[in-house]
Amino acid sequence: MQVNDTAAIVTGGASGLGAATAAALAAKGAHVFAFDLPSSIEGAPDVDGVTYVPVDVTDPLQVAAGVDIASESPSPLRTVVNCAGIGPSQRILGRKGTHDLAFFAKVVQVNLIGTFNVMTLAAEKIAATEPLADDARGVIINTASVAAYDGQVGQAAYASSKGGVVGLNLPAARDLAQYGIRVLTIAPGIIETPMLATVSEEFRAGLAAGIPFPQRLGRPDEYAQLALALIDHDYLNGEVIRMDGALRMAPR
């Protein structure tokens, strides 16, 4: 599917994976609506073709309003890339006691329920567009993590939320097939995102040393490159693609 002269939604679009994907889509001629929190949008780069929309993916009303804005664009809404997410850690049993239930729920709310809500409301708008070849109408790409398969110590909440995104992938693809909407998921490994910006070079080198090949951290532009390839490939559907340099995470 070509993205030129179409509209796209990218959640978490003000930084990291989302910002790289929004910029890559815009460079291909898409009108991108980048959803993110107002505090994140304040420091976002000014990119031609990218419109920032303040949306908290955990708020159904804000998501509905943002999707309406994107779908009212002169260009048909064809693409959604869900990158919004959080990755805090906490052990089930730690020095300070048991895992906080509200903390667990918050991670699932952002990473899994937020993804589901954006996908669902956007799919409704995509389904109303004119069909292309093979009755195709659009594609939704969600973001999981290798933690969905190899969750480490302290990642109970994060791994559960991302495992949910993986589990959602195939039934969502089957549900939306009749509307010509493909659903795919990318499961990144260790990527150079703002979450890693605060750690030391020594720590980052240690992370890179555990990756078989290439022995370095992944880059947001590589995620964006993969997302565009998935959008372009009309026969890819219902699949989860690991982007991790063959990494399999150790327990800690």
Domain hosting 30: range is 7-193+221-243
How many C-beta atoms lie closer than 10 Å to residue 95's C-beta?
5
Structure tokens at 219: 């880059």
pLDDT in tens, 143-194: 999 999 999 999 999 999 999 999 999 999 999 999 999 999 999 999 988 7
d(CA 112, CA 26): 26
Tell me which amino acid residue 229 is.
A
Q: How many domains does the chain have?
A: 1
**136 located within any domain:** yes
**215 located within any domain:** no
Beta-carbon-side half-sphere exposure of residue 204 (alpha carbons within 13 Å): 14
**252 located within any domain:** no
Give the H or E element holding residue 224: helix 220-232
Tell how strand 93-94 and strand 97-98 pair up. antiparallel
Residues involved in catalysis: 158
pLDDT in tens, 42-96: 989 999 999 999 999 999 999 999 999 999 999 999 999 999 999 989 999 999 8
**158 located within any domain:** yes
The CATH number that applies at residue 57 is 3.40.50.720
**206 located within any domain:** no
